[in-house]
């Protein structure tokens, strides 16, 4: 056998021993990592769901916004018309100095 093969064998043996010696810590770490990956996937799915809801609400709000814009325009037109009517009536019935 070559020296490189012997070094590889001893290196693999040392790594195996270290893994066996720390198997409880490794198991805990693997379990925690799996749990974190699961949580990240669940969070990602919730975020995607929330984004879909936000998009749907955004479309709804845009519809409401255009409706309100139309309502305000109609209100403004009606307000101007009534203001002109009130001003015309007031001007017609305006007291003069002769009536005082």
Asked whether residue 100 is domain-assigned, the answer is no
Asked whether residue 98 is domain-assigned, the answer is no
Rounded-to-integer distance, Cα 27 and Cα 21, Å: 12
Asked whether residue 97 is domain-assigned, the answer is no
- Give the pLDDT of residue 94: 79
**pLDDT level of residue 98 (50, 70, 90 thresholds):** low
Does residue 34 or residue 94 have the better pLDDT?
A: 34
How close are the terminal C-alpha atoms of the chain, in Å? 129
The predicted model scores a pTM of: 0.49
| Domain total of the chain | 1
Give the structural domain span for 38: 3-92
Is 80 exceeded by the pLDDT of residue 30? Answer: yes
Does residue 81 or residue 94 have the better pLDDT?
A: 81
- Give the pLDDT of residue 6: 81
Characterize 60-90 residue by residue with b for buried, 16 or more Cβ atoms within 10 angstroms of its Cβ, and e for exposed.
Answer: eeeeeeeeeeeeeeeeeeeeeeeeeeeeeee
Asked whether residue 57 is domain-assigned, the answer is yes
Is 90 exceeded by the pLDDT of residue 15? Answer: no
């Amino acid at each position: 056998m070559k020296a490189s093969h012997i070094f590889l064998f001893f290196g693999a043996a040392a790594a195996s021993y270290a893994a066996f010696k720390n198997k409880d810590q490794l198991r805990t770490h693997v379990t925690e990592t799996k749990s974190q990956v699961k949580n990240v996937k669940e969070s990602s799915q919730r975020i995607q769901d929330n984004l879909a809801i936000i998009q749907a609400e955004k479309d709804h709000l845009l519809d409401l916004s255009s409706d309100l814009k139309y309502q305000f325009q109609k209100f403004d037109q009606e307000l101007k018309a009534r203001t002109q009517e009130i001003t015309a009536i007031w001007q017609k019935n305006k007291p003069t100095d002769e009536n005082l």
